[in-house]
Amino acid sequence: MAAMSRRVPFDQFTDPRHLTGVQGELAALTWLAARGWTIEAHRYRFGRHDLDLVIRRGSLVAFVEVKTRRGSRHGAPGEAIGWKKRRALALGARWWRREHGRPGDQYRFDLVSVDLAPGGPRLDHLEDAWRESV
């Protein structure tokens, strides 16, 4: 019998890296919603991967990768998105588009960098961060 994978609720995460990631995603979600974006999906699953956020403003849909850091010790957030990750995100974007896309939608890939600074999170939204066909 094949093993079944199950989603673990956020409050049951034990790995500090996962907890940091969720904290950054929730900060980005709140920040983007306050700027007029509608949140279409958070952690949209496709296979063993997920899209951190799918956001919409009118007919523009952005697939958002959220990179969260506590300082710059591990490099710039955008450096963590290599070609394999971009290819996986493009696959997820195609899945999402087939299930939820609307005629006339335009698509792009964005990056939100979150620095969990002691005085509160600092966010940077890089629109149209890279190109992939959806």
The domains found in the chain, sorted by start residue, are: 38-130 (3.40.1350.10)
Contacts 24+ apart (CB under 8 A), 53-60: 53/25, 53/28, 53/29, 53/112, 54/96, 54/100, 55/110, 59/102, 59/104, 59/105, 59/106, 60/105, 60/106, 60/107, 60/108
Percentage of the chain modeled with pLDDT above 70: 82
* pLDDT value, residue 74: 65
Residues 22-52 have pLDDT tens digits of 889 999 999 999 999 999 999 999 888 899 9
